[in-house]
Every structure is written in C-alpha cells, then in structure tokens.
Amino acid sequence: MDQKNFFLDGQTALVTGGASGIGLSTVRMLSSVGAHVIIADTNKELGHYLSEKFKSEGKKVGYIYCDISSEASISELGKKLIRKKKSIEILMHFAGIGLEKKFVSTSLDDWNKIISVNLTGSFLMTKEIAKLMIPHKYGRIVTMSSVAGLRGGTGRAAYGASKGGVIALSKVLAIELSPYNITVNTLCPGAIETELVKKMHDKETRRAFLQNIPQKRYGFPEEVASAALFFTLPGSSYVNGTVFPIDGGFNSSGIIKNEAS
C-alpha cells in the first residue's frame, strides 16, 4: 500500500467558507495531513485570526478575502494566486447561505440572494480554480450541496433549488474536467450542528429531521470534514461525479417504527 495516497504533503487546498462550521473543520482536517490550506472567506478579522492561530500550532494555513457572490472578487482571488505563483491542487467550495421560508412567502430578492451565493457562486469559483488546475493536469474539487438538493422539504424552495443546481453543475464539471485528471464530487450534508443550522432550524424543524434520521441525532462538522478529506486524497483518483450524503441515514430512510411498539 502506498502511504502517499493518504497524505497531502506538498499540496495546496483552497477552502471557501473556511472560517467557520464545516469549512473550518475541513481546514483542520486538511492541515493535519500535510496540506497547505488557504481560507477564503468574507470575515477578514476571523480569517486572519485563524490563520495566525493555526500557524502558532505549526500548521500551514493562510487567509485570503473572497466574496463568492461577486465575479470581480473571485477574479481578484485568481489573480492573487497567480501573482503568488500558487498552484491549487484542491478546492473545497463550502461557502453558502441558508433560508427556510415557505414557497409562497419567498420573495424574488430571497430567491436571487440564495441562488447568487449557493449556485452562481459555485459556478464562478469552480470555473476560476479549474482554469488554474487544468495546466497542471491535476485537481480535486469538492462542492457542497445538501440533502435539500436531493429531497423536498418544507421551506426549502430557494435553498433546495440552489443545492439541486450544485449537484447538476458538479456532474457536468466531473465530465468536462476528467481529461485533465481533475475529479469533482459533491457532498450532501443533512442536519449538521453548525451556526447556520442553529439559526435555520427551529424546534419543529429539529423534530421533523430527528423523526427521519435513523441515528436519531444531528451530525457534527468534523464528520462531514472526514468525508470531504477522502475525496481530496491521491488515492481517490477513480471516484468522480459522485453525490455523497452525510446525513445519518436520512436520505435512505422510509418508515421508521419505534422498536418498543
């Protein structure tokens, strides 16, 4: 067994939304196996703080500002990477926003905001970084969808549409980038205890989720990061175009009877 298949020494990973939640857990995971990690986030103060904190622990972690809803901001990020002569072997595109609002109450502004960040942002960011990967004929791209992109749910009109779009986009990218030895895979987290979820999920939402999760609990960001890490490894080279739920069995569940009944 080639041990190099399980480490990322010498590789650079860009993690959007890397200053919090699943993104931050993934930064920790990637840096622990030797990757040089760049956090791309809109929170400058937190991004710089985390970069210094990781460096004090001996980890190779930097920070760069980027607003994924802005084509100009993403283009500037690409130019900075080129100026610094940074090759990017791994893109973990995790930045996104949420919304829980009934379809008939969702305004066009609500819709446009969710789509611009979650879907258009995914298009713009993967396009920019793929152009840097193609000349090197190597890359690992991991995009972030959701179980809301796989199954219908109350209040998920805009959010679900954006995440379903990410799945379709990622499958096209997997095909078009394959000739350049670049893989593209998509994570679909379910109910994960992040700050975003704490804001979105009220008591009834939590009850509805837990009723249909066989493991009867919410997941943790570290559990998503562990799955994300696999798709970045050299040894995952034949895994491409997959849609991978991390949801405690939610997407697979049907009728769940109480064992005591």
Q: Which two tokens mark 124?
A: 């713009």
Q: Beta-carbon neighbour count of residue 258 at 10 Å?
A: 5
Q: Using 50, 70 and 90 to split pLDDT, how confident is the model at 218?
A: very high
Q: Using 50, 70 and 90 to split pLDDT, how confident is the model at 4?
A: low
In the prediction, which pLDDT does 110 show? 96
Question: Which pTM value belongs to this model?
Answer: 0.92
Average pLDDT in the chain: 92
Q: In whole angstroms, give the CA distance from residue 104 to residue 216.
A: 31
Query: At 183, which helix (H) or strand (E)?
Result: strand 182-189
Q: Which residues of 39-54 are buried (b: 16+ CB within 10 A; e: fewer)?
A: bbbbbeebbeebbeeb
For CA atoms 26, 29, 35, 39, the dihedral sign is: positive
For residue 250, pLDDT beyond 60? yes
Q: Could you give the angle at the alpha carbon of 55 between the alpha carbons of 49 and 56, nearest 5°? A: 90
- The per-residue pLDDT for range 160-198, each reduced to its tens digit, is 999 999 999 999 999 999 999 999 999 999 989 988 788
Domains of the chain: 8-192+221-245 (3.40.50.720)
For tokens 């500002």, the residue is 65
- The per-residue pLDDT for range 45-66, each reduced to its tens digit, is 999 999 999 999 999 999 999 9
> If you compute the radius of gyration of the chain from its CA atoms, what whole number of angstroms results?
18
Helices (H), the chain: 21-32, 44-56, 71-83, 108-114, 121-133, 157-177, 195-200, 203-211, 221-232
Q: Could you give the angle at the alpha carbon of 192 between the alpha carbons of 120 and 20, nearest 5°? A: 65
2 or 196, which is more confident? 196
* Residues classed as catalytic: 159
Q: Which residues of 128-160 are buried (b: 16+ CB within 10 A; e: fewer)?
A: bbbebbeeeebbbbbbbbbbbbbbebebbbbbb
154 or 110, which is more confident? 110
Amino acid, single-letter form, for residue 167 = I
Q: Which segment of 13-17, 30-34, 84-88 scores lowest on mean pLDDT?
A: 84-88
Exposed, middle or buried: residue 181 (CB in 10 Å: 0-12, 13-18, 19+)?
Answer: middle
Q: Using 50, 70 and 90 to split pLDDT, how confident is the model at 255?
A: low
Q: In whole angstroms, give the CA distance from residue 28 to residue 24.
A: 6
- Mean pLDDT computed over 74-94: 93
